[in-house]
Amino acid sequence: MSALTILIIRHAEKPGESWPGPGLTSDGTPDKKSLVVRGWHRAGSWAALFGGG
């Protein structure tokens, strides 16, 4: 039986005033519950690193 590894990674900051900026949806619409730009970049980087596709 092969081993299973689970990674839990936090990749974002909470939206703020001037830094880290406003939360935005994937199409750029302001949204207080969405990631900031840096968070979207980090999420994409993690997906590229760990994605099996």
> Which amino acid type is present at position 44?
G
Contact 13, 41 (CB under 8 A): no
Model confidence pLDDT, tens digit, residues 5-33: 888 877 666 676 677 888 899 899 999 88
pLDDT of 27 reads 94
Q: What pLDDT sits at residue 42?
A: 85
CA neighbor of 42 nearest in space, from 8, 11, 1, 10? 11
Give the total number of structural domains in the chain.
1
Tell whether the model's pLDDT for residue 1 goes beyond 80.
Answer: no
The answer as to whether 8 is a domain residue is no
Domain-located, residue 3: no
Q: What pLDDT is stored for residue 29 in this prediction?
A: 95
Domain assignment of residue 38, yes or no: yes
Three-state secondary structure call for residue 24 = strand
Domain residues for the domain of 38 are: 24-53
Q: Which residues pair with 30 in a beta bridge?
A: 24
